[in-house]
Structure 1
């Protein structure tokens, strides 16, 4: 079979609770900067360059962000520079908070992408050759290119021996686009899963069987087990039959069900650090890290890691706001890695303190933590320590890359006449290893999936064809998912009895991967539409979803 097709994914506004903002306060010989940024080093360098001053005159402090999803990795720099310039020239405090309309107009979004592909498959749906090209829309400048990321992640869990993948960056007239949660992999997984659906329909094979037939052996050994477990847990075959009967008996309401597998590759690059200091008189612990809390539960997990390593109550741990004096020249918080990297650094500083305390403990009989700390202080033991972690992304690093596997099954219902769709049920299983905090992880899974669900179903950026300005620049006309749009029945499972030997205490970070599996929703919608088209005696095997 020879298959040809096209696929397109659009942009997406990050829609964080907090828009871009910054507060600057002039000091005796410097400026204190409080930006809504997840990259302190970039803010320091950008402001110093803008004001033509030494870098050590810029003091950056970040306590937490009201959400980011990638929008505050680099894009806060222009806001912080403007605020710092006013502070510097007027020698008085300045505050700059963008309105939502200005934020949406000027800040880049997720990169739209267009793909064309040609595939040759045998009668079993196994790919014999695949040729695909994709174009990533950078906006006005290609300073954060995505085509290469998509190329890397497009393979997902499949055998790619006979694949030819080419990616290109395209300059357009919109604001320069930027990273958005699970950048590149969201688009890459959607591209290959769309092709798998196309293969299944043309070859007249079960979509799950087609996916399993095209998986590489290493990933199949893991995912086949998860898939079979999910099929049994969700009564998938029974529900398929029930949906077929429902569609046979209903002309204007249709249901669809679909499954998507995922292999998300987590890798590390950059520098990260943690500082730990112990208060001598009560034993309380201060932890300062280069990572920034961006609504991922980073500070909570770091406190847990420190308490567990030190063997003390978590109430004694205080995670302080990040600043560039304690964490100079460090990498950004993002790309699903900060809990791993700063968590590892936290274990190291705790271990250093414990080694220093060991001789003191041997002199005491069953001492309390507070007693050991005060005795160490009296004997001149340094209760301050720091650990810096430098990573290159190779298997030789202290922290090694690892895959995150997941499988999602979704059932939807559509109204053929109105276009309304209802997500009846979603079952999502993801491998979190030995989860550091299951409640946080489940919350991250739910939030990521719903964000992706909105991306594929309701969120659409509309630009004026003459001026290039964004038309739907506020919550009245840009439509993220609401409370009534989330799945009626949403079941999240953290895969049991798995330990990531390369992770922090056996854990895996899963803040971004679930968003990628949200592409199961348009696949399920396609399944429902197929039934409606058959009722209309439409004989076309394949149709394009979305705008082309």
Structure 2
């Protein structure tokens, strides 16, 4: 415990030997599936003619909404979803790329070629505009697309403080983001004598099992789900995997042949929802110290084509960050757009809440001519944990010294500018749902097999579970093997997400192991000198049950706060708009880390995902039909080797636990992403110098996100005459 233990599957993954769903061997008579996508939003589908595709040798079938024997819905209302989301569109098309059917063929290539040949006849448009983004909804004044949400927050002192205060208004925009896991959505369905085996790339087996059973009108117990591991997810496979599982199962059900549904990247990006974009408009009244006396923040989030998966309730819990919000009011609304229904994405709602608050602190500091840290402290309670951490962090990162050096650098350089910023974070971690763990001990050699409802998607849950079991049982990790998660051993399991999977699974394993130890204890007390193997053999001879199950449930683990600080320094090339992230320092509260190496990796990964969000990943939709134009790596750019920090320093804050935590540890999967906004503020400070040199005023301006080189060049204010040699 508390050691930098390599991931148990790390060697197999780096060697390319770890098996994912697509790596499962082909079985006899297997067919490949490909989704057929709609291309005319706001038009009704009048007819679908698959004959041009079916006439090709090797194409075996096409299935659409009319073929579904049960519910045409992959978001079961029994799971508190607000509205139906169709597996295959049966009427009016909601967005470009909405699935309308699945076609089967002998090969992957043939299936995807055939999908393009299916002819769809559409009716006339309904006369309303195609509005695929938040900005287009606002520009069109489409109030019918905007919906109130019941998650507004109002501090007890809001509007009660009277006086003459400085008034500040502003706007802040956060972009959407495609999850871009290395493994896309996919599913394999194999008909069996008792139903169907389903191998789904999902974070949430329960929703898939319910949706498939309802779509096929079959009992849930006829479906056997298996999930070994995911090749990344970031939230994209919580609910959206259900649509692919349903489509694949429908095809396998009617063909009575195994079906492998693996969408192309373009299909995945067009058909599946993304991180919700957000626009915030705020009005503030502050005193001379920058203390907020009144704050009204109206924000709007892009839900896509449905109101399922509301994230405002998360935003409402995080919007105050580490500040006194007693004089704040938060009003959130949801916008329905002609794009795929947006979904959970690493730090959903949390990022919007925290970054909106931090942007407000930056704006106040700019308006008053103060250091942003002064304003942050002015709005923080005297007893807050961040106040305790900040002085040492400022000293350790040499903030004051580097700030002066940056000012000198900017004065001496016209075309290269630097900036630095510090952002604090308070992250309330909440635990919910239920997860099973099953631990089995084999009596001859004493080896242990474990299966849990926690699905490993790169976050290291299998490794942490192995460490916990080895620690509790007092045996080497080499004696433990983690087995495939299945719907048999982990029925009705909650989603693997929300930064709680590793802790919930570890908690269940810990308790299952303790049950086993209690059973073994009488034998161990009788034979204290015997080895583990000898004890398990004796237990077996006495018919002691060496298999135990435990279910974690909401309330078993106490909610807690994760605290963090980040300091980012960037250098901007004013001529090209390129950004060099010179240095990033992160201090994050991890309690007593079970595996510091995994936790550091999670922190680094979350921060780098934020680099893509703010700098490189640009979702561009067609004005005409809402088609996603950046639907492949040629034009949708992930952070690369030269985008990550040159100097990346992560420090774990220890000794912030209590005994109710899982072995005194804290989560690390998502919190660090919320601190990536420090890069955006560092960029602003660099651009302020460039704009000053360009002769622009010192007025506050909205930074367009993602801040691509094009947007940075525009924000820098350079003109052609500035480029003439004197």
**Partner of residue 184 from structure 1, selected from 349, 363, 385:** 349
Q: Does 1:239 align with 2:402?
A: yes
Aligned to 1:394: none
TM-score for both structures, normalised by structure 1: 0.97
Aligned-partner Cα distance in 1 for 2:182–2:492: 28
* 2:293 is aligned with 1:128: yes
Is contact 2:615-2:705 (8 Å) kept? no
CA contact (8 A) 1:146 1:169 kept: no
Q: Report if aligned partners of 1:61, 1:321 keep a CA contact under 8 Å in 2.
A: yes
- Contact 1:256 1:527 (8 Å CA) reproduced: yes
Whole-angstrom CA distance in 1 between matches of 2:552 and 2:586: 33
Counterpart check, 1:275 vs 2:438: yes
Aligned partner of 1:359 in structure 2 is 522
CA deviation after TM superposition for structure 1 residue 519, in Å: 0.4
Contact 1:336 1:510 in 2 (8 A): yes
Q: Give yes or no for the alignment of 1:10 onto 2:178.
A: no
Q: 1:527 aligns with which of 664, 667, 685?
A: 685
Match of 2:310 in 1: 145
SS of residue paired to 1:65: coil
The residue number in structure 2 matching 1:211 is 376
SS state of the match for residue 197, structure 2? strand
1:483 corresponds to 2:483: no
The 10-residue stretch of structure 1 (533-542 or 268-277) with the greater mean CA deviation from structure 2: 533-542
1:405 aligns with 2:563: yes
Q: Which residue of 2 aligns with 1:59?
A: 224
1:544 and 2:702 are equivalent in the alignment = yes
What are the equivalent positions in structure 2 for 1:16-95 lying under 5 Å apart? 16-95=181-260
How far residue 232 of structure 1 moved from its aligned partner, in angstroms, is 1.1
SS in 2 for 1:195: helix
The RMSD of aligned alpha carbons is 1.1
From 356, 372, 381, give the equivalent of 2:535. Answer: 372
Q: Mean Cα displacement is larger for which, 364-373 or 518-527?
A: 364-373
Q: Secondary structure at the match of 1:110?
A: coil
1:495-547 Cα offsets, whole Å, 9 max, x none, are 13333433211100111000110000010000001111222332233111006
Moved more, 538-547 or 101-110: 538-547
* CA distance in structure 1 between the partners assigned to 2:214 and 2:399 by the alignment: 58
In structure 1, distance between residues paired with 2:398 and 2:430: 35
* Equivalent residue for 1:228, pick from 379, 383, 391: 391
5+ residue gaps, structure 1, are: 392-396
Answering whether residue 325 of structure 2 is matched by residue 160 of structure 1, we say: yes
Instruction: Name the SS for the 1:501 alignment partner.
Output: coil
- Please give the secondary structure, in 2, of the residue aligned with 1:210: helix
Alignment check: 8 A CA contact 2:622 2:629 kept: yes
SS at the partner of 1:399? coil
1:419 matched to 2:552: no
| Selected match of 2:267 from 102, 122, 128 | 102
- 2:453 aligned partner: 290
Which residue in 1 is equivalent to 2:162? none
- Distance in structure 2 (CA, Å) of the matches to 1:332 and 1:522: 32
Distance 1:313 1:139 in 2: 49
- Which structure: larger Rg? 2
Secondary structure of 1:457's aligned partner: helix
Partner SS for 2:169: strand
Equivalent residue number for residue 631 of structure 2: 473
Q: Secondary structure at the match of 2:558?
A: coil
My pick for the range that moved more, 222-231 or 523-532, is 222-231
Structure 1 stretches of at least 4 aligned residues deviating more than 3 Å after TM superposition: none
Name the counterpart of 2:598. 440
Name the residue aligned to 1:456. Answer: 614
Q: Deviations over 1:250-307 (max 9, x none)?
A: 1111100000000111001111111111111111111111110011000000000000
Provide, for residues 113-135 of structure 1, a one-character-per-residue CA deviation record: whole Å limited to 9, x for no partner: 11100000000000001001111
**What are the Cα deviations for residues 324-362 of structure 1, in whole angstroms up to 9, with x where unaligned?**
110111101001001111111111101000000110112
Counterparts of 1:324 and 1:2, CA distance in 2? 57
Separation of aligned partners in 1, 2:448 and 2:697: 69
Q: Is residue 464–residue 471 contact of structure 1 (8 Å, CA) maintained in 2?
A: yes
**TM-score of the pair, normalised by structure 2:** 0.74
Shift of 1:147: 2.2
Q: What residue is the counterpart of 2:486 in the other structure?
A: 323
* Higher mean C-alpha deviation, range 522-531 or range 141-150: 141-150
Q: Mean Cα displacement is larger for which, 252-261 or 207-216?
A: 207-216
Q: Distance in 2 between matches of 1:271 and 1:398?
A: 10
Question: 1:256 and 2:424 equivalent?
Answer: no
Q: Deviations over 1:150-183 (max 9, x none)?
A: 1221110000111111111110000100000010
Q: Using the alignment, how far apart are the partners of 1:216 and 1:294 within structure 2?
A: 38
Distance, in Å, in 1 between the alignment partners of 2:247 and 2:338 is 23
Maintained 8 Å contact 2:358/2:423: yes
1:194 to 349, 354, 359: 359
Distance 1:48 1:298, change over 3 A: same
CA distance in 2, matches of 1:511, 1:268: 14
Q: Which runs of 5+ in 2 are unaligned?
A: 1-165, 707-726
In the other structure, the counterpart of 1:305 is 468
CA distance in 2, matches of 1:88, 1:544: 53
